[in-house]
Amino acid sequence: MKITLDDIEQFSVPLEDYISNWVFMDENDKLAPAEHQDQIFALTKEAANFLWDFDMQLGIECSEKYFKVITIFESGTAKTAEIKKFLYNLGIPFSHKVFIAMQPDTGFVLTWKMVIKYSHNLFFGYDQVVRDRTLNWALQFDHDDIFTFGKDIIFDAAKEKQKNIEKIDNALKEMAERKKQQENYLKQ
């Protein structure tokens, strides 16, 4: 079965067995309760790698180049409650599933509610991007404690990808034609 954004959570493993399950531990080092684990899908290495590659190839950052609306929140001195309030006020429904690719072999599909609940571990010391299937918004966390939220996408990734494919095809055709001309020239 091929992994896609539509079925990626089917490629998951139990959270208690996951290398990065610490993200979903409370202050007493106890793993998230069952009701939370039902909303967290720890991805297999293959699925996490798919998600990582997807993010890298997509190349859409939270900037005016890609989104109509940009919101920035500097969280360096903010308390956990203030960060959670910022995330809550973004208006994403609690039950909405989102993607997080932490590393090439580590990724999650989880509800927005779990992003808010475990934000203290999700957004700590390293860059992070959260998206959903629509790609109409993205939340970027910079290791310098800056959240950037972009919404209302103005960049059509599929269209740009098709343009790039056409450019590559044309370049390959031109190279083949030049090679053919060179071979004909050498035969003379």
Sign of CA dihedral 114, 115, 121, 126: positive
- For the chain, the domains span 8-154, 156-188
pLDDT of residue 155: 66
CA dihedral 80, 83, 89, 90 (to 10 degrees): -140
pLDDT of residue 47: 97
pLDDT of residue 138: 95
CA-based max dimension of the chain: 81
Looking up tokens 């095809």 gives: 169
**pLDDT tens digits, 28-62:** 889 999 999 999 999 999 999 999 999 999 888 88
For residue 157, the tally of other CB atoms under 10 A from its CB is: 14
For residue 94, the tally of other CB atoms under 10 A from its CB is: 13
